[in-house]
Structure 1
Amino acid sequence: MKKNNKNIHLQDLGTKEYKETWNYQEELFDKIIQVKRKNRNENLNLQTPNYFLFVEHPHVYTLGKSGDLNNLLLNQNQLKEKGIAFHKINRGGDITYHGFGQIVGYPILDLDNFFNDIGKYMRSLEETIIRVLAEYGIKGERSKGETGVWLDVGTPFARKICALGVRTSRWVTMHGFALNVNTNLGYFDHIIPCGIRGKAVTSMEVEIGRKLKVEEVKSKILKHFEDVFEVKIV
């Protein structure tokens, strides 16, 4: 009987264009799917690998498969003038921004190694970020019906600090979360973030009043990810 693989291979890609990273995610995603297909077709018990990618993207807007293009408030010429890329992609959710000073995490996992519950997976990602924020004295929360991590939910000052959007197929995940650390929030003014009107976006820098060390925040994400998912990152 196959023993579930609870190890996750960490790769920090540094700063990388969105499309290049998306292609790489697809490669790793397909690699896991191929192992699962081989197991099923040939009655094998090969272990499937799991990956966790850290990356920082140059300015880019991405629109999920169910997103509304009207939530992008710039035309093609304006995007070009501002040096912002744009991609329609295959994750859930609407439009979001990625850019410098933001930590993007892409867990590419075979959930058969952990638990077969997409809702639990999303809540576990949120819980990881909530625990990280708590270490900095920031009270992260969930907002009913709205994925991601929020501050001051239920008040006129509700604001999102971390966006989530994933794709799953055959219990394999890709895409993930984007935590605003030292992010220039001005870029969110050109979209309706996640298609939600009237709610603001914030960053750890804004909430704390100082720039943070990104590597320190990454290490805390990994620590809490290991605890929440009960895994080992190698």
Structure 2
Amino acid sequence: MNKKVQLQDLGFKDYKDAWDFQETLFQEILDLKIKNRREESNLETPNHFLYVEHPHVYTLGKSGDLSNLLLSEKQLAEKEATFYKINRGGDITYHGPGQIVGYPILDLENFFTDIHKYLRLLEEAIILTLADYGLSSERSQGETGVWLGVGTPFARKICAMGVRASRWVTMHGFALNVNADLGYFDNIIPCGIKGKAVTSMHVELGRAIDELEVKQKIVKHFADLFEAEMV
């Protein structure tokens, strides 16, 4: 089992370009797994972890409801935002500047074959990272992602998650609001969940946050939880 994970920061990149790149890596792993099965070979499958920051974009998961986007095409253009219907799970979410987006493209057969465990460990990496900043966060039962104030009238989501998996290979991932402009969330019903707010690290802590430092902390916790070697 190959537990090495190739870490790559794509910087500021258009959503569709990053999606296409994800799909390429995802398909390469799938093709290698199919080749291994057909030829009864044992070629090592790679794992990737991509960081990226997107221009303003709204994405709708395959089971999502388009009515959760509250903007017309004209209004999207006025806000210089794009929209894509994509192949991950979950409903609608927003990506934009000041948000750390992570896309682990892993062959889970290198780690464990349990998609629920995978999601819980991704959440845990964010929970531990937020704890490093003195923020107490948790899961909300029945709702993927990471939240603050669960069980209070002030429940608010700080990290959204949505993944796709095929033959135990994952793509898509998480979006952590660090210094994001939360006003863009007013144009959607985030994740299709009405009546719950969205927050960010800079709002909760009252200061701008060093995004590079946050990325380093996430990677450390991810490596520990997955017993992975980041290269």
Whole-Å separation in 1 of the counterparts to 2:214 and 2:225: 16
Question: Which runs of structure 2 are paired with 1:200-215 in the superposition (5 Å)?
Answer: 200-215=197-212
Whole-Å separation in 1 of the counterparts to 2:72 and 2:157: 25
Deviation at 1:81? 1.0
Instruction: Identify unmatched segments of 5+ residues in structure 2.
Output: none
Deviation at 1:211? 0.3
Q: 2:157 aligns with which of 155, 160, 166?
A: 160
Whole-Å separation in 1 of the counterparts to 2:136 and 2:121: 16
Question: Which runs of structure 2 are paired with 1:66-215 in the superposition (5 Å)?
Answer: 66-215=63-212
Q: Identity rate of aligned residues, in percent?
A: 71
Deviation at 1:52? 0.2
Deviation at 1:33? 0.3
Secondary structure of 1:5's match? coil
Deviation at 1:125? 0.2
Whole-Å separation in 2 of the counterparts to 1:17 and 1:137: 32
Q: CA RMSD in A?
A: 0.3
Whole-Å separation in 2 of the counterparts to 1:10 and 1:135: 21
Instruction: Identify unmatched segments of 5+ residues in structure 1.
Output: none
Hey, which bits of structure 1, 4+ residues long, moved more than 2 A? Answer: none
Secondary structure of 2:23's match? helix
Q: Compute the TM-score of the two structures, normalised by the length of structure 2.
A: 1.00
Whole-Å separation in 2 of the counterparts to 1:178 and 1:12: 14
Deviation at 1:175? 0.1
One-letter code aligned to 2:127: I
Deviation at 1:38? 0.5
Q: Compute the TM-score of the two structures, normalised by the length of structure 1.
A: 0.98
**1:220 paired residue number:** 217
